[in-house]
Amino acid sequence: MSKSPAHQQHPEHRVAERRVDGRMTVSLNGEIVADSRDVIRVDEDRSPPRFYFPRSDVKMDKLQPSDKTTICPFKGTARYFSLSAGGKQLKDSVWSYETPYDEHADLAGRLAFYDDKMPEIEVRAT
């Protein structure tokens, strides 16, 4: 792992992580695909809150790896998955930072869902 170049160049940019108290679920068209009491909430400037679930609490058989990757200058390289559940398939709707920068090491391997861009995905506290 390494230090984030963006955090060093833009120390005013906020990317705050905190553990969520309680249980959270993710569903697609009513089918539960994640259920966890070990979720990390990320609040980043100019972005909606994101919730990162451990893989052990996600139905991994509902995810198909994608060829898509993106680079966040604050967190690192994200790898994407398509999600199939509830009779729908949503391309590139889930992502993970496999080896994030040091500042976000707690996110390594966790999965986040595009609930703001894809209204069929519901992320909620239960």
Q: How confident is the model over 9-53, as pLDDT tens digits? A: 888 889 999 999 999 999 999 999 999 999 999 999 989 999 999
- What pLDDT is stored for residue 117 in this prediction? 83
- What pLDDT is stored for residue 126 in this prediction? 85
The confidence band for 87, taking pLDDT boundaries of 50, 70 and 90, is very high
Residue ranges and CATH numbers for the domains of the chain are 5-125 (2.170.150.40)
- What pLDDT is stored for residue 83 in this prediction? 97
- What pLDDT is stored for residue 8 in this prediction? 79
- What pLDDT is stored for residue 1 in this prediction? 56
Distance CA(47)–CA(57), nearest Å, equals 24
Q: What is the chain's mean pLDDT, rounded?
A: 94
Cβ neighbours of 2 (radius 10 Å): 10
Distance CA(80)–CA(94), nearest Å, equals 6
Task: Please give the model's pTM, rounded to 2 decimal places.
Answer: 0.94
